[in-house]
Amino acid sequence: MRTVTILGRRSIQHGIRSWNRQQQQQQQSALLLPSSMLTSIQRVQSLPRKFSTDPQDDMSTTTAEKLQRFEDANPDRIRDIQVNPEGIGSQILPGNLVYKKYRFSGNTRKVPLELVHGYFWMMWDLRRTGHKTTLSNETLIPAEQAQLFPVLQGVQSLNDTKTDLPFFFVDDSPAAKKVTLLSIAFRDSGFKSIPSWTDPFQEAFDDNEKVGTLKLSITERLSLYPFRGPLTRVMKKNTPENEHDSTLVYFGTDVDDFRDVLRMHNIMTNYVFLIDDLGRIRFAGSGPATKDDVAKVIQFAKELAKEEEERSSRTAKRSKNKKR
Residues 232 and 99 sit within 8 Å (Cβ to Cβ)? no
Beta bridge partners of residue 271, listed in sequence order: 184, 286
Exposed/middle/buried for 289, CB within 10 Å: 0-12, 13-18, 19+?
Answer: buried
In terms of Cα–Cα distance, which of 45, 54, 99, 52 is closest to 74?
A: 45
pLDDT of residue 21: 60
Give the angle 250-251-252 at the CA atoms, nearest 5°.
120
Backbone angle region of 62, left / alpha / beta, with phi > 0 → left and psi within -120 to 50 → alpha = beta
Query: Over the chain (324 residues), what is each successive 10-residue block's mean pLDDT?
Result: 46 56 51 43 40 36 47 72 94 88 83 88 93 95 93 90 87 79 94 95 91 93 76 86 90 88 95 94 96 96 91 78 68
Pairing between strand 152-157 and 247-251?
A: antiparallel
Q: What confidence score (pLDDT) does residue 183 get?
A: 97
Residue 68: the pLDDT is 43
- Give the start-to-end residue ranges of the domains of the chain: 134-320
C-alpha to C-alpha distance for 208 and 127, rounded to whole angstroms: 37
Name the superfamily (CATH) of residues 134-320: Glutaredoxin (3.40.30.10)
| Count of CA atoms in the C-beta half-sphere (13 A) of 154 | 11
Q: What pLDDT is recorded for position 285?
A: 97
